[in-house]
């Protein structure tokens, strides 16, 4: 029995050792980096907004959710009706997308970054840094006062900052993919590889504990 447990522990430990190392390294990285800084929250300005609800005077049927916010000084309503989201001005009319210059002004108004280039993204890309966000979306390439490159992603209608991506986030994203063993999309925490290696790691740990106590008991009997 001891021989079998020893063999299981030996070969399982060797087989999963690399992934155990990746789990440890990525876990240490997560522990020593604040998620708020990874998300780029330090680049956002605290902007106070006052909104007069009396400006809006129209009815919306079958409304699931309504929020009133400002877009470059203009009050707009963001309304979810059925499976769609509508962006309306105070008269109840649909608003147009932000222009390139307006998108840059949003970045200037809401962050401490300097916008350089605006690109509209209309196609989803697996594993992208804007994954999970509704398209179309504006990618505003920006710089910090130290010259660091930062990508700011904006809702093309409301101007909401929906994501801020830096090299710190990209390293975190890489570590997360290694941690959950989803190297392509880096989102699936229920993938089969993770389940298999988790079970193997558990078996390896249990067999190691069994060997420790059996050897410890054997040594005690010799004494």
Confidence of residue 143 (pLDDT cuts 50, 70, 90): very high
Once rounded to an integer, what is the mean pLDDT over residues 60-87? 80
pLDDT band with cut points at 50, 70 and 90 for residue 74: confident
Work out the burial of residue 107: count CB atoms within 10 Å of its CB; fewer than 13 is exposed, 13-18 middle, 19 or more buried. Answer: buried
> For all residues of the chain together, what is the average pLDDT?
85
Instruction: Determine contact, residues 65/80, Cβ cutoff 8 Å.
Output: yes
The SS3 assignment for 10 reads helix
Tell me the C-alpha distance between 71 and 91, whole Å: 15
In percent, how much of the chain has pLDDT > 90? 47
pLDDT tens, 20-61?
889 999 999 999 999 999 999 999 998 776 666 666 767 766
Residue 111: pLDDT over 90: yes
Share of the chain above pLDDT 70, in %: 83
pLDDT of the residue at 222 = 53
- Do 27 and 176 contact (CB within 8 A), yes or no? no
Look at residue 215 in the predicted model and tell me its pLDDT: 56
pLDDT score, position 50: 66
Q: What is the pLDDT of residues 165-184, one digit of tens each?
A: 999 999 999 999 999 998 88
Nearest to 156 by CA among 121, 116, 108: 121
What confidence score (pLDDT) does residue 107 get?
96
Average the pLDDT over 142-147 and give the result: 94
pLDDT band at 218 (very low <50, low <70, confident <90, very high): low
CB 3 within 8 A of CB 152: no
Among candidates 161, 123, 118, which has minimal Cα distance to 141? 118
**Confidence (pLDDT) at 27:** 94
Residues 89, 222: Cα–Cα separation, whole Å: 86
Q: Are 158 and 87 in contact (CB under 8 A)?
A: yes
């Amino acid at each position: 029995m001891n021989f079998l447990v020893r063999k299981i522990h030996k070969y399982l430990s060797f087989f999963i050792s690399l992934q155990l190392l990746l789990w440890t390294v990525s876990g240490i990285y997560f522990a020593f980096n604040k998620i708020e800084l990874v998300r780029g929250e330090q680049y956002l300005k605290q902007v106070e907004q006052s909104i007069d609800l009396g400006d809006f005077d129209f009815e919306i049927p079958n409304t699931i959710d309504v929020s009133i916010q400002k877009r470059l000084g203009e009050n707009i309503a963001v309304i979810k009706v059925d499976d769609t989201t509508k962006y309306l001005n105070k008269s109840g009319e649909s608003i147009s997308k932000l222009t390139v210059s307006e998108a840059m002004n949003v970045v200037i108004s809401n962050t401490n970054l300097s916008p350089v280039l605006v690109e509209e993204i209309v196609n989803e890309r697996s594993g992208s840094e804007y994954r999970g966000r509704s398209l179309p979306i504006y990618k505003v390439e920006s710089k910090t006062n130290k010259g660091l490159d930062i990508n700011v992603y904006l809702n093309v209608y409301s101007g909401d900052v929906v994501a801020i991506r830096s090299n710190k986030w990209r390293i975190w994203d890489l570590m997360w993919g290694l941690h959950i063993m989803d190297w392509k999309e880096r989102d699936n925490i229920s993938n089969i590889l993770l389940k298999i290696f988790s079970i193997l790691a558990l078996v390896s740990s249990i067999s190691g504990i069994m060997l420790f106590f059996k050897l410890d008991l054997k040594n005690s009997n010799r004494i």
